[in-house]
Amino acid sequence: MVATQLSRLSPMFISSKFHMSESFERWLKYIPISVLTALIVPEFFEQTSGEFHINTNYLISGIVAFCVGLWKKNMLLTTFVGVICLASLRFLA
């Protein structure tokens, strides 16, 4: 919690001290998308006795959610469809 507080406040104080270069700003723009993408990749795998396997249910739901997201550009709908898809895959299995 202390760490998160610091990370939130430190940019505020530093930002007034130095001028950010334009290319650094441009690099920063790509941080949210790459962090979020990197975070979800392991979610589609499961580990059993040291080996990684693709979790098919998750993968299918992820692809469906991705397509709906691209189509509708609606975050809530994407979440909802992904969840419903996984629930129905589990129900059918």
Q: How far apart are CA 22 and CA 6, in angstroms?
A: 25
46 forms part of the interface with another protein (CB under 8 A) = no
| Smallest gap from residue 48 Cβ to another protein (A) | 14
* Residue 66: count of CB within 10 angstroms of its CB: 13
Per CB under 8 A, contacts with another protein among 2-31 are 3-12, 14-16, 20, 23, 25-31
Beta carbon nearer to another protein, 48 or 70: 70
Q: Give the type of residue at 90.
A: R
CA distances from 10 to 4, 13, 26, 79 (A): 10, 5, 20, 32
The binding site for another protein (CB under 8 A) comprises 1, 3-12, 14-16, 20, 23, 25-45, 52, 58, 61-62, 65-66, 69-70, 73-90
